[in-house]
Amino acid sequence: MDIVIQQQIIEELQSLHYFQLKTVLQFVRFLQNSKPQTKQDSLNDGLINSLSGKYRNCLSGSEDFARRKSEEIALEEAKWKRL
Length of the chain (residues): 83
For residue 24, give the nearest of 36, 34, 12, 37 by alpha carbon. Answer: 12
Q: What's residue 42's pLDDT?
A: 73
Q: What's residue 45's pLDDT?
A: 77
Q: What's residue 1's pLDDT?
A: 55
Give the Cα separation of 72 and 5 in Å (integer): 62
Domain residue ranges in the chain: 3-82
Q: Which among 2-6, 57-61, 79-83 has the top mean pLDDT?
A: 2-6
Give the Cα separation of 1 and 25 in Å (integer): 18
Hey, CA dihedral for 46, 48, 51, 57, is it positive or negative? Answer: negative
Q: What's residue 18's pLDDT?
A: 93
Average pLDDT estimate for 65-81: 89
pLDDT in tens, 28-57: 899 888 877 677 777 777 777 776 666 666
Lowest mean pLDDT among 43-47, 58-62, 67-71: 58-62
